[in-house]
């Protein structure tokens, strides 16, 4: 509205005619039209405040280049968008991406696979060619001693030369542009090696005052040789194992010339970005050449392999036949020498050799003989009828089986007489006395040199008991604390004696005989000795015994008191209670004699 108001002419006075007004308007348009158009455009831009695509397109390339020189913020902000755009493009048009990358990757992939297969087949052929030969066996022994793989040992002995690594180095800066390695070579810091080679060349030039176009051509480190080819802008260094031929120099020179021809501009304007030279890998891989010592022609390896296998089969068959015959012979000897087995015939039944005859139940199991000699169990069988063998070996074995003697008893056989010697319990001796009649081939058992340990222990306990004395104070029937302790020891001996007597089937009587000193009247001494014996009996009878019978007897004055006094012990030993163990028959006689004497 405002623009229309400004551009509309002022209404002329009524006195002007219509023709004059039109001429004035035309004159104004001629004079102010360009400025009016510019003012309209400026007003429109001020009203919208929007930068149009055309204006942005004119400044965007320069703005991106200037911003990229300042920092990486532009790259960081564009990276997510670029990744999403690429992922979306691959998802929507995978065929377009694959068609675009196929010309680049296809050739490189095919060449890499072809090279890997060629190196693998070459290594496999080398290994197979020497694996079954005498030389190969020696190399296997070397591999076992050194701990190296057999393939590596074969490679070391059959390799004439091999280029293991190739370095492409920028001549002016000494930076590594690209690097390739042969199969099986581990990386060892390519950038450091490149810097080392550059430093060595600079040292040689400075030391011998050579120009920049000249430099080190060869370097030897141990069993490795480094060849260096100089170019105008790049250096090609190769690490070679073995003795390379001179014609390899031509290959290296041609490769370096091809790289200069194709990448001359990139080499001249190199600023540290080596991504351009990744495409030189096919040129460098052509330098990874190898040459092996050709094996002398002879009979095919397959012929020797088949011959060895045939000889091995024949040797194995002969060994098995000899072993089978040796095992059969040993089996016949063992069965013939084994007591309790009588072979009457050997027959072939169903492809097996079956033994017929007699066998004592206590004889060795014939199946066990097969295992001991190693004869196949499926090739032999046994059909034996049971019988009782009376050979000395079987009679002795049967005696051990029936009697089961302890380790302390040795058993020997003298004709039909069984000899026992050593120490055993009373129960085992009783079982031997009852069981030896049931052993075929045994008519007598000699136990004269066999010691009954239970009887011996019984006699030892008897002696210990009869050696015990309980002492009393003068004119008293009570016991001191020391003598009470001795009575507990006597009680323990009586308990052990009771157990042994029960095992032996005996019923001994234990007499507690009391004595007094000669001081005082005879009746007083007898009464005092009986009181002392009864006192000890009361204490010992607190724990009942199974077979022992305890009796208390007053003996009065000890008849040996004078001899005791002569020994310097005074009359204290005569005031005592002593013990006597008597078997049943003897007990009756002693009891009658004691009662009569008292």
The CATH number linked to 137 is: 3.30.450.70
What is the spatial distance between Cα 481 and Cα 187, in angstroms, rounded to a whole number?
A: 97
145 and 213 assigned to the same domain: yes
307 and 403 assigned to the same domain: no
Average pLDDT over residues 164-184: 83
Contact status, residue 231 vs residue 213, Cβ threshold 8 Å: no
589 and 441 assigned to the same domain: no
DSSP 8-class letter at 574? G
Burial of 234 per CB tally in 10 Å (0-12, 13-18, 19+): buried
Contact status, residue 376 vs residue 320, Cβ threshold 8 Å: no
198 and 249 assigned to the same domain: yes
Number of structural domains in the chain: 5
Which helix (H) or strand (E) segment holds residue 267: the answer is helix 264-268
Buried b (16+ CB within 10 A) or exposed e, 191-206: eebbeebbeebeeebe
For 507, phi then psi, to 5°, come to -130, 70
> Quick one: tokens of 486?
């001795």
> Quick one: tokens of 157?
């002995």
Confidence (pLDDT) at 60: 75
Q: Is residue 89 part of a domain?
A: no
Q: Is residue 253 part of a domain?
A: yes
243 and 139 assigned to the same domain: yes
What is the spatial distance between Cα 574 and Cα 576, in angstroms, rounded to a whole number?
A: 6
Asked if the model's pLDDT at residue 315 lies above 60, the reply is yes
229 and 322 assigned to the same domain: no
Q: Is residue 87 part of a domain?
A: no
DSSP 8-class letter at 204? H
Band (pLDDT 50/70/90 cuts) for residue 135 is: low
132 and 279 assigned to the same domain: yes
User: Given 352, 386, 420, which residue is the final one in a domain?
Assistant: 386
User: Given 361, 386, 411, which residue is the final one in a domain?
Assistant: 386
Average pLDDT over residues 494-513: 89
518 and 404 assigned to the same domain: no
445 and 473 assigned to the same domain: no
Q: Is residue 403 part of a domain?
A: yes
Band (pLDDT 50/70/90 cuts) for residue 511 is: very high
Q: Which of 53-67, 198-212, 383-397 has the lowest mean pLDDT?
A: 198-212
> Quick one: tokens of 132?
């079954």
What is the spatial distance between Cα 132 and Cα 304, in angstroms, rounded to a whole number?
A: 8
Residues 6+ apart with CB under 8 A from 145: none
Q: Is residue 169 part of a domain?
A: yes
DSSP 8-class letter at 293? P
328 and 366 assigned to the same domain: yes
User: Given 271, 292, 313, which residue is the final one in a domain?
Assistant: 292
333 and 448 assigned to the same domain: no
Asked if the model's pLDDT at residue 240 lies above 80, the reply is yes
Q: Is residue 298 part of a domain?
A: no
Asked if the model's pLDDT at residue 592 lies above 50, the reply is no
- What is the three-class DSSP state of 338? coil
Confidence (pLDDT) at 31: 72
CATH (domain of 422): 3.30.1340.30
pLDDT tens digits, residue range 421-470?
Answer: 988 888 888 888 877 777 888 888 888 888 888 889 899 999 998 888 88
What is the spatial distance between Cα 98 and Cα 89, in angstroms, rounded to a whole number?
A: 11
Looking at per-residue pLDDT, the higher value among 509 and 142 belongs to: 509
The Cα-based distances of 231 to 132, 173, 257, 273, 549 in angstroms read 48, 14, 8, 20, 127
> Quick one: tokens of 148?
């190296």
574 and 442 assigned to the same domain: no
User: 435: domain range?
Assistant: 392-454
* Number of Cβ within a 10 Å radius of residue 502: 14
Confidence (pLDDT) at 523: 82
pLDDT tens digits, residue range 464-477?
Answer: 988 888 888 877 77
DSSP string, 143-178: HHHHT--HHHHHHHHHEEEEEEEEEEEETTT--EEE
Band (pLDDT 50/70/90 cuts) for residue 249 is: confident
DSSP 8-class letter at 389? -
Burial of 371 per CB tally in 10 Å (0-12, 13-18, 19+): exposed
Q: Is residue 486 part of a domain?
A: yes
Looking at per-residue pLDDT, the higher value among 566 and 338 belongs to: 338
DSSP 8-class letter at 286? T
What is the spatial distance between Cα 217 and Cα 201, in angstroms, rounded to a whole number?
A: 9
Q: Is residue 459 part of a domain?
A: no
Band (pLDDT 50/70/90 cuts) for residue 595 is: very low
């Amino acid at each position: 509205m405002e623009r229309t108001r400004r551009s509309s002419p002022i209404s002329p006075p009524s006195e002007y005619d219509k023709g004059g007004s039109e001429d004035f308007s035309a004159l104004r348009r001629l004079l102010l039209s360009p400025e009016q158009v510019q003012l309209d455009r400026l007003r429109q831009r001020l009203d919208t405040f929007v930068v149009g695509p055309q204006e942005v397109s004119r400044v965007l390339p320069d703005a991106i280049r200037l911003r990229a020189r300042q920092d990486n913020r532009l790259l960081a902000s564009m990276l997510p968008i670029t990744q999403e755009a690429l992922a979306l493009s691959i998802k929507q048009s995978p065929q377009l991406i694959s068609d675009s990358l196929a010309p680049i990757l296809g050739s490189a992939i095919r060449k890499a696979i072809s090279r890997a297969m060629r190196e693998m087949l070459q290594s496999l052929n080398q290994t197979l060619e020497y694996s079954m030969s005498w030389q190969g066996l020696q190399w296997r022994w070397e591999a076992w001693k050194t701990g190296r793989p057999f393939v590596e040992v074969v490679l070391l002995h059959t390799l004439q030369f091999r280029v293991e690594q190739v370095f492409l180095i920028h001549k002016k800066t000494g930076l590594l542009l690209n690097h390739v390695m042969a199969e099986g070579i581990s990386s060892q810091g390519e950038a450091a090696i490149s810097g080392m080679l550059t430093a060595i060349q600079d040292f040689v030039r400075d030391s011998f005052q050579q120009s920049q176009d000249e430099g080190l051509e060869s370097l030897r480190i141990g069993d490795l040789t480094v060849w260096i080819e100089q170019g105008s802008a790049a250096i090609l260094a190769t690490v070679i194992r073995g003795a390379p031929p001179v014609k390899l120099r031509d290959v290296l020179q041609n490769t370096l010339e091809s790289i200069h021809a194709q990448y001359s501009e990139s080499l001249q304007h190199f600023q540290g970005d080596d991504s351009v030279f990744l495409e030189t890998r096919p040129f460098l891989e052509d330098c990874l050449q190898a040459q092996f010592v050709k094996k002398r022609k002879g009979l095919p390896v397959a012929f020797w392999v088949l011959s060895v296998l045939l000889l091995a089969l024949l040797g194995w068959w002969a060994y098995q036949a000899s072993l089978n015959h040796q095992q059969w012979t040993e089996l016949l000897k063992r069965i013939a020498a084994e007591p309790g087995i009588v072979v009457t015939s050997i027959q072939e039944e169903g492809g097996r050799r079956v033994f017929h005859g007699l066998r004592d139940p206590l004889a060795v199991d014939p199946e066990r003989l097969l295992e001991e000699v190693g004869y196949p169990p499926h090739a032999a069988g046994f059909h034996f009828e049971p019988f009782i063998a009376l050979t000395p070996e079987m009679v002795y074995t049967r005696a051990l089986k029936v009697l089961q003697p302890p380790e302390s008893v040795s058993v020997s056989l003298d004709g039909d007489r069984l000899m026992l010697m050593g120490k055993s319990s009373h129960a085992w001796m009783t079982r031997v006395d009852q069981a030896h009649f049931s052993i075929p081939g045994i008519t007598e058992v000699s136990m004269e040199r066999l010691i009954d340990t239970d009887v011996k222990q019984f006699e030892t306990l008897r002696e210990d008991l009869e050696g015990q004395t309980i002492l009393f104070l003068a004119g008293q029937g009570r016991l001191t604390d020391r003598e009470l302790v001795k009575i507990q020891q006597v009680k323990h001996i009586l308990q052990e004696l009771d157990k042994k007597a029960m095992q032996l089937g005996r019923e001994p009587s234990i007499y507690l005989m009391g004595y007094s000193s000669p001081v005082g009247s005879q009746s007083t001494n007898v009464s005092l000795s009986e009181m002392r014996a009864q006192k000890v009996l009361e204490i010992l009878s607190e724990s009942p015994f199974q077979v022992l019978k305890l009796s208390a007897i007053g003996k009065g004055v000890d008849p040996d008191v004078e001899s005791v006094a002569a020994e310097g012990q005074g009359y204290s030993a005569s005031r005592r209670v002593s013990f006597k163990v008597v078997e049943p028959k003897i007990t009756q006689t002693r009891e009658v004699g004691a009662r009569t004497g008292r």
